[in-house]
Chain A
Amino acid sequence: MTTALPDPTVRAAVRALWRRWRTTPWRDRLRGRLTARFDTSARLADSALSPPTRELIREVIRRTRLRPGEKSAVADELLAHFHDGVGAGTEEQELRSKFGHPATAARLIRRAKRRCRSRLWHAWRAAWWSTVFLLAAYTAYGVAVFTGRPNIQTNYHALLYPPPTQPQEQWALPRYEAALAALDLDEVIERRTIRQDTNDPIERLYWDYGGAGYSVEEITIPITREQWLYRTLYNDQADPFAILAGYFNEYTDAFEQIRAAAALPTLGPLPADRDFGHYHTPGDPAHPLIGAGLLSHSSNDPRVDVAGEIETLLVVDAEVAARQGDGPRAVASLEALMSLDDQLAELPVRESYLGSIRLRTSVTGTLGDLLATRPETFGDSDLRRLAERLAEQNGRATLEQYAEVSRIAFLDLLQRVYTDDGEGDGRMTIDGLRLLFEIEQPAFNLLENPEAVAQTTLSPGLVLIAQSRRDAEERFEAALAQIRQQWDESLTEHVDRVTSVPRRSKTWRRHWEGLRFAAVDTVAHRSRMSGLLAIEQDIRRDAVLVGIALELYRRAEGQWPESLDALVPSYLPAIPDDPFADAPMRYLVHDGRPRVYSVGPDGDDDGGRAAARPPGGVPTVTQSVRRHRLVDGQPGFPDHDWVLFPLAHRLHLPDRTPRVRASNSVNLNPW
């Protein structure tokens, strides 16, 4: 079988047609005319010049690599040039020899012709090359960034968590866990159907946090005893303790166990045979499960969660016992709370510190509440003993320990975030950036939940603007020194400082600084806030100590004292200072009840008039400063005092949402 070759004339016609198409301007093509106006070859062929000259011109034209129209114009010009030369009587060979090298001519012509192009073309070209350059530089930098790795050399974890020295019998944690298990908190006591359009604030939380998903209208969920307990406490029941009394009375053995465990000297380590997820105590400091280092641990140490649950149970038990007239049990639970605080102080992590502040708030709140409403709960010796233990709590003193822990946490963070050049410097790494994302530094909110591709693409840029390891360390030390200075200032000084300095606006500069100094701010911000909490807790402690002294005075003298001076020194070593005045705390008797108060941040005595129920029942500096900005839109503070004893609110429950006990999962269920 043979294949018929196309007719050569047909092939030539097709080729000619294609050639005409290629050399016709778009304008003519769109008009349906194949003008072949840019066909330089045809023009060269039609010229009267010799083949070498034509070849020279063709060579120059080809090498210019210009657009067809530009090539055509240059070809016309060169053809005219040689024709004019020949017309003037010059030999073609001489013309060629004077013309110069085709490559040089082509290069110069190309450069000059491109200069003649439009400004738009030049702008586009500049933009194109700029983009190419930046992308190339960014890619090269990205490669360098992605190859940098942190070098974890120091086991700060082991430094802060030495092996336990006490024998196992002295560990409270196993006993707490056994008691929690005995309380049947996981038992399902009912099944409840909740709808997505519920108005119940707690049920709303369930939907808002995505616990039930969003594709269904309603869902039936099991309610455990633990959820029932928290719902009863936090759902603004008229008297939650009356509702819970039956349950607490049923499990008195478990509460005895808890109180006994609180008397032990240490919480003890976490069981080595259990999986605690991100929380880990590996021998290898670079263990991947160590996650965000000490910072990650601080929010995941299951012991802090256990302590939080025990705290809630003891507070409720004290309130229930007081209502039943069981003073010794109420006092024992309050003392157990104080002991739990001592145990928690062993854990050198931020959460334990905040947990401790929270615990002390529970103690002062519950003790102050019972003292004001059910003073008969306490015997004289109980009050003296509780006052003695309460006086030992010193928020300011523990801040220094916390500062050191913060520094170690920061150094641990540095070695997980930066490379190490061996001389105390290094640069941010991608691993480090991911770590900072995990820690949920506020400055990264812009990139909250980004897609992985976007995160990877942006990461080199973020690494580029991040400060160096040495700068980070220096900035942290400066921040810590400033924070220490702020810890020493009085509340008056604090308020003056905060209200006199214009609040930093949420501008790009704030985000920029947040991105640059993310590693520092992550730790420093936490330390800054802790100082204020400690100072405020000390004020509450002082007020309750005055309350105890007043009660002891009343019992001895049969009436409230005329002034606080009468309490010193028999019932109180000294009258605590008013945190907002250079004077002792104020005191008066109103409706037959004593009232201890501070003049508050406005600095004037309003006769012990309290603010309308402050959030959480206790006025705080933060709330006062915030109100300072909101008083009729004018600078100033609301005209009222800080009533510190008795506190205005009814409950003093830990301000926390319940979480599951020692486990690697987090329970978003709000019950």
Chain B
Amino acid sequence: MKLERELMRGAGPTAVLKVLESGEKYGYEMVQRLAKTSNGVLAVGQSTLYPMLYNLEAKGLVASRTEPGLRGRPRRYYRLTAKGKRHLARQTRQWAALVTAMQSLGLGSAQGGAA
């Protein structure tokens, strides 16, 4: 299952930040990690990942550096900034609250629908 665009627009950046919490990563690595850990639910469109990263960089939530990668080709690694960590912590709390609230409505159950 894939999330609808509007839902993904809110969840995507937070998911990317969460992936980066464990350490710096490059683009394709993040795509793979997101798809794998979320069973494809949070599979970010590859053409939208990079704009998302650039936006996060513009907001100062992530920073990047370029390193020689495979066969000497430049590869850009992204990492969380201090501001990004604080932002992620806030987002985490909000998401937890949201999930709890949705579950209390029965939306988090396997059957779905209202209790």
Contact = CB atoms under 8 A, between A and B. Distances in A.
B57 interface: yes
Given A83-B70, A84-B29, A115-B55, A77 B76 contact: yes
A78 B54 contact: no
B37 interface: no
B47 A105 contact: yes
A112 B58 contact: yes
A108 B26 contact: no
Interface string B20-43: 000000111101100000000000
Contacts of A47: 73
A87 B48 CA distance: 21
Nearest to B54: A112
How large, as a class, is the contact surface on chain B? Answer: 20 to 34
A88 interface: yes
B108 interface: no
A100 B70 contact: no
Contacts of A116: 54, 57-58
A111 B75 contact: no
Given A77-B76, A105-B48, A85 B55 contact: no
B46 A100 contact: yes
Nearest to B45: A100
A108 B51 contact: yes
A83 B45 contact: no
A109 B70 contact: no
B69 interface: yes
B26 A80 contact: yes
A76 B76 contact: yes
A113 B76 CA distance: 15
Contacts of B76: 73, 76-77, 80
A79 B51 contact: no
A113 B54 contact: yes
A256 B24 CA distance: 114
Given A77-B76, A80-B76, A109-B50, A88 B32 contact: yes
Nearest to A106: B47
Contact of A100 (B47, B53, B71, B75): B47
Contact of A98 (B46, B50, B58, B69): B46
A80 B54 contact: no
A101 B70 CA distance: 26
B55 A79 contact: no
A99 interface: yes
Interface residues of A, number: 31
Contact of B48 (A84, A85, A88, A108): A108
Interface in B1-32: 26-29, 31-32
B58 A85 contact: no
Interface in A93-124: 95, 98-102, 104-105, 108-109, 111-113, 115-116
A534 interface: no
B66 A85 contact: no
A80 B77 CA distance: 11
A78 B50 contact: yes
Interface string A538-558: 000000000000000000000
A111 B26 CA distance: 21
Contacts of B106: none
A74 interface: yes
Given A95-B46, A98-B45, A100-B46, A80 B51 contact: no
A81 interface: yes
Nearest to A95: B46
Interface string B93-110: 000000000000000000
A91 B110 CA distance: 35
Contact of A101 (B47, B50, B74): B47
Contacts of A99: 45-47
B85 to A, nearest CB: 20
Contact of B50 (A74, A83, A84, A85): A74
Contacts of B32: 88
A50 to B, nearest CB: 16
Contacts of B46: 81, 95, 98-100
Among A80, A83, A105, A115, which residue has the most Cβ atoms of chain B within 10 A?
A80
A84 B75 contact: yes
Contact of A80 (B27, B45, B47, B52): B27
Given A77-B76, A80-B69, 20 more contacts: A76-B76, A78-B50, A80-B76, A83-B69, A83-B70, A83-B73, A84-B27, A84-B28, A84-B29, A84-B69, A84-B70, A85-B28, A88-B32, A95-B46, A99-B46, A100-B46, A108-B48, A111-B51, A112-B51, A112-B55
16 contacts: A60-B47, A80-B27, A80-B69, A80-B75, A83-B73, A84-B26, A84-B28, A84-B75, A88-B32, A98-B46, A101-B47, A108-B47, A108-B51, A112-B52, A115-B55, A115-B58
Interface of A: 47-48, 60, 73-74, 76-81, 83-85, 87-88, 95, 98-102, 104-105, 108-109, 111-113, 115-116
